[in-house]
C-alpha cells in the first residue's frame, strides 16, 4: 500500500485550499499570495524534517530524558577507568586483567549491537529503549554486588550488552522526531551528558568508593537510573516500527551494512573513536605514574574537563547548525592533534598545567563527536535509521575496545607502579586516526 509522505500531503493540502477557496483569476492569485510562504517553506524544508508526524509532549523534556539516559550509561562505563586501582587492590589483578574489564563492556556491546541491528526497527522505539535501559540497570546492579573478579567481569558483559545499544536508540529517536536544523543542538545537549558524568559523576563516584567501597559507586548509578526509567515511560514518544514484520531481518541488515552510501559513516565513526580512545583510558594512570599527580587530585582532571565541556559542547552544537557541520569538524580535528601530542609527551609538571592541558584535550576531542554524529545521524534514510544507528553504536563500541587494546599493547611498565613507556607512540597513532577521519568526513552526506 502506498503511504503518502506527510510533508508532501501538507503541500498538496495547501494547493487544494488554494484552488477550492477561490474561483476567479484575481482571487486565485490573491489566495496564492496568502499561502505562498507556507507552500514554499514546506517544499524547501521537506527533506530536513522527520519523515512522520510524531507527537512529542515537550522537546526540551525529551532531550533532557535522553541526555539522562546517556549520562547514566556513560558514567557506568567511564567510572571503570579511575576505579582501576580499587579493582587491582580488591581482586589482586594485573593491568592486563583490568583492561579486560574495560574491553568486556565494549566488545559485548559490539556483539549485542550487531544482533540489535537485525531487530531494532521491528519494535517501537519507546518499548525498545525501556527494555534496554531495564537490562542495563540489572547489569549495573550485578556490578554493585560483585564479590569476585569473574562475577564483575560477567556483570560488565551484561551491562555492555544492554547499555551499548542504548546510544543507537537515543540517536535514532533524535533523528526521527527532531528537525535537521535543530539536530546539532540536540546532539550537543545529549553529548553534554559526558561532561556531566565527568563533572559530577566521576568525582562523586570516586568519593563514594573512597568512603564506602567501589561497589557503592555502581549502587548509586542504579538508584539514579530508576527514576529516569519512570520518566522514559511518560516522556518518550511512541514511534512505531518502520520495517514491515514480513521482511527478512538478516537480508535487510546485510543490505544496510553493505550499502555503499553508509560505508563512509561506518569508517568515520571508527576513526573518530580510535582518534581519542587510543589514549583516553590511560590518562589517569599516566598522570599519576609519569607526571606525578597524586591519586586524590586525579578527580580534578575530570571535574574541570567535564565542567568546561558541558558548556562548550552546546556552543559547538549551535555552531555546527549555523556554520556547517563539515566546517566545524575541519577546524576541530587538526586542533585536537595539539593537546594529544603535548599530553602523550608530558613530563613532570604542576597540577595547574595538567588541568589546562587535559581540559583543552577534553573540549576539543569530545567536540569532534558533535558535528560527526549529527552528520552520521542524518546520512541514513528514515526507514533504516534504527538499524543504521545500531550498527554505528556497535562499531563505536568495537572501536573503543580496539583503541584500549591497541593502546594497552603499546604501553609497557617495568612494574605495576612504574612509569609508562611508549605513551607517545599511542599519541602518534591517535593523531593519524584523526587525520584519516578528516578525509572521510567529506564523503558523509546528509539525506534526512
DSSP string across 328-378? HHHHHHHHHHHHHHHHHT--S--HHHHHHHHHHHHHHHHHTHHHHHHHHHT
Which residues in the chain come in under a pLDDT of 70? 1-56, 95, 117, 195, 242-247, 386, 415-416, 448
DSSP string across 18-42? HHHH--SHHHHHHHHHHHHHHHHHH
d(CA 193, CA 314): 11
Domain positions in the chain:
58-443
CA angle 223–226–231, rounded 5-degree value? 140
Which H or E run includes 166?
helix 149-177
Asked whether the beta carbons of 390 and 252 are under 8 A apart, the reply is no
pLDDT value at position 52? 53
How far is CA 362 from each of CA 106, 112, 312, 323, rounded to the nearest angstrom?
Answer: 21, 28, 10, 22
The dihedral region occupied by 54, where left means phi > 0, alpha psi between -120 and 50, and beta the remainder, is beta
Instruction: Please report where in the chains the cell 566521576 appears, as a residue.
Output: 202
How far is CA 134 from each of CA 24, 226, 232, rounded to the nearest angstrom?
Answer: 62, 9, 11
d(CA 325, CA 319): 8
Burial (Cβ within 10 Å: 0-12, 13-18, ≥19) of residue 10: middle
d(CA 231, CA 81): 29
Instruction: Please report where in the chains the cell 538508584 appears, as a residue.
Output: 223
Q: Which residues of 202-226 are buried (b: 16+ CB within 10 A; e: fewer)?
A: bbbbbebbeeeebbebbbbbbebbe
**Which superfamily is assigned to 58-443 in CATH?**
MFS general substrate transporter like domains (1.20.1250.20)
pLDDT value at position 53? 60
Asked whether the beta carbons of 357 and 340 are under 8 A apart, the reply is no
d(CA 269, CA 372): 8
Asked whether the beta carbons of 386 and 121 are under 8 A apart, the reply is yes
Tens digit of pLDDT for each residue in 252-282?
Answer: 778 888 888 889 999 999 999 999 989 988 8
Tens digit of pLDDT for each residue in 191-226?
Answer: 777 767 777 888 888 888 888 889 999 999 999 999
Asked whether the beta carbons of 411 and 420 are under 8 A apart, the reply is yes
Amino acid at each position: 500500500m502506498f503511504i503518502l509522505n506527510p510533508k508532501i500531503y501538507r503541500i498538496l493540502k495547501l494547493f487544494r485550499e488554494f484552488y477550492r477557496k477561490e474561483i476567479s483569476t484575481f482571487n486565485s492569485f490573491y489566495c496564492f499570495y496568502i499561502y505562498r510562504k507556507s507552500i514554499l517553506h514546506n517544499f524547501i524544508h521537506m527533506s530536513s524534517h522527520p519523515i512522520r508526524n510524531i507527537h512529542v509532549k515537550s522537546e526540551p523534556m525529551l532531550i533532557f530524558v535522553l541526555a539522562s539516559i546517556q549520562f547514566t550509561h556513560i558514567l557506568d562505563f567511564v567510572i571503570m577507568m579511575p576505579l582501576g586501582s580499587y579493582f587491582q587492590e580488591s581482586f589482586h589483578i594485573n593491568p592486563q586483567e583490568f583492561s579486560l574489564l574495560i574491553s568486556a563492556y565494549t566488545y559485548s556491546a559490539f556483539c549485542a549491537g550487531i544482533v540489535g541491528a537485525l531487530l531494532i526497527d521491528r519494535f517501537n522505539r519507546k518499548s525498545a529503549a525501556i527494555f534496554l535501559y531495564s537490562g542495563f540497570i540489572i547489569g549495573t546492579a550485578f556490578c554493585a554486588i560483585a564479590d569476585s573478579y569473574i562475577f564483575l567481569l560477567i556483570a560488565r558483559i551484561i551491562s555492555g550488552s544492554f547499555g551499548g545499544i542504548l546510544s543507537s536508540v537515543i540517536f535514532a529517536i533524535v533523528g526521527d522526531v527532531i528537525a535537521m536544523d535543530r539536530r546539532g543542538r540536540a546532539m550537543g545537549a545529549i553529548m553534554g551528558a559526558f561532561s556531566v558524568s565527568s563533572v559530577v559523576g566521576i568525582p562523586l563516584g570516586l568519593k563514594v568508593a573512597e568512603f564506602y567501597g567501589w561497589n557503592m559507586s555502581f549502587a548509586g548509578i542504579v538508584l539514579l537510573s530508576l527514576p529516569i526509567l519512570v520518566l522514559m515511560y511518560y516522556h518518550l514518544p511512541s514511534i512505531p516500527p518502520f520495517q514491515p514484520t514480513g521482511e527478512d531481518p538478516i537480508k535487510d541488515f546485510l543490505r544496510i551494512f553493505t550499502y555503499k552510501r553508509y560505508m563512509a559513516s561506518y569508517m568515520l565513526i571508527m576513526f573518530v573513536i580510535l582518534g581519542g580512545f587510543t589514549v583516553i583510558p590511560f590518562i589517569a594512570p599516566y598522570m599519576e605514574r609519569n607526571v606525578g599527580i597524586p591519586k586524590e587530585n586525579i578527580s580534578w582532571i575530570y571535574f574541570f574537563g567535564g565542567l568546561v565541556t558541558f558548556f562548550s559542547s552546546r556552543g559547538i552544537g549551535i555552531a555546527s547548525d549555523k556554520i556547517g557541520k563539515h566546517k566545524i569538524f575541519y577546524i576541530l580535528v587538526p586542533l585536537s592533534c595539539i593537546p594529544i601530542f603535548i599530553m602523550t609527551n608530558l613530563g613532570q609538571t604542576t597540577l595547574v598545567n595538567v588541568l589546562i592541558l587535559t581540559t583543552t584535550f577534553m573540549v576539543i576531542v569530545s567536540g569532534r563527536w558533535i558535528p560527526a554524529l549529527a552528520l552520521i545521524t542524518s546520512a541514513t534514510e528514515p526507514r533504516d535509521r534504527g538499524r543504521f544507528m545500531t550498527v554505528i553504536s556497535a562499531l563505536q563500541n568495537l572501536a573503543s575496545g580496539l583503541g584500549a587494546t591497541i593502546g594497552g599493547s603499546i604501553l609497557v611498565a617495568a612494574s605495576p607502579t612504574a612509569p609508562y613507556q611508549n605513551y607517545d607512540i599511542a599519541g602518534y597513532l591517535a593523531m593519524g586516526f584523526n587525520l584519516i577521519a578528516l578525509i572521510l568526513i567529506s564523503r558523509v552526506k546528509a539525506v534526512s
